[in-house]
Amino acid sequence: MTNDEPPPRSLSVRARLLSVTGIAVLASLLVWHGQIADFLGFGSPGDKAPVVGGSGPAGRVLDAEGDVPGTPEHKPTTTPRPKPKPSKTPKPKPIKTKSTDNQTYDEESTEGMSPKLRSRLLKAMAAAKADGVDVRINSGRRSAAKQRRLLDEAIEKYGSYKAAVRWVLPPEFSEHVKGRAVDITPATGAKWLELNGYKYGICRRYDNEPWHFEALSAPGRKCPPREPYALAK
């Protein structure tokens, strides 16, 4: 009886072992199959959902890719970011000094005028003010560079040098560049000076320029006859 006992025991043990290894092998096969299926992308619909699903995790993945430069879908959302940069380089303010070969002057003052014109003009302006008339300096002493620029503009405007010099003389001929001429504004002030300037030795010189005055005669004496227009001479 004692000999009979072991075989059934060993049988049962072997059977148990077989069944256990069989289950283990089956389980491992199932696990292996599952891994392969996942790897190849043949998983269950439940596994696919997070990868392909539109709104959920898939959207997050696309957003993350959208931040990568060069993704065409998301360029519109990424390009506005650099746009706010204005990249403004501060422009240099217009500088008052302009001439390369000349000192510059405050043209609307007596700065740079000959002492004779300046003293006469100041007396005349004081008298005009006493009369309640506004007599202001529109253009007094000019630099040669400024005069040249005015002449260039006049040539452009009148079409030729010959026509232009009737209005704007070349620097070498201009009394403004010498500090011996003044243009007066407004027209009422120029008219007052035309009528009263002789008392102070200030005269209108040209027919075509009612604003242009020079110290042409002795104070209180009659002004010389007017010239039709300026000549480059």
- Stretch binding Zn ion (CB under 5 A), from 106-114, 163-171, 197-205, 208-216: 208-216
Task: Give the SS3 label for residue 144.
Answer: helix
Q: Is 214 in the site for Zn ion (CB under 5 A)?
A: no
- Stretch binding Zn ion (CB under 5 A), from 59-67, 127-135, 158-166, 179-187: 179-187
Q: Is 212 in the site for Zn ion (CB under 5 A)?
A: yes
- Looking at beta carbons only, is 21 or 188 nearer to Zn ion? 188
User: What number of other Cβ atoms are within 10 A of residue 16's Cβ?
Assistant: 10
Q: What does the alpha-carbon distance between residue 126 and residue 136 come to, in Å, rounded to a whole number?
A: 11
Strand partners, 139: 183
Cα dihedral 173/178/180/182 (nearest 10):
80
Asked whether 226 and 209 are in contact (CB, 8 A), the reply is no
Determine the size of the site formed for Zn ion (CB under 5 A): 3
The residue within the footprint of Zn ion, chosen from 148, 171, 183, 205 (CB under 5 A), is: 183
- Stretch binding Zn ion (CB under 5 A), from 38-46, 85-93, 114-122, 175-183: 175-183
Residues that bind Zn ion (CB under 5 A): 181, 183, 212
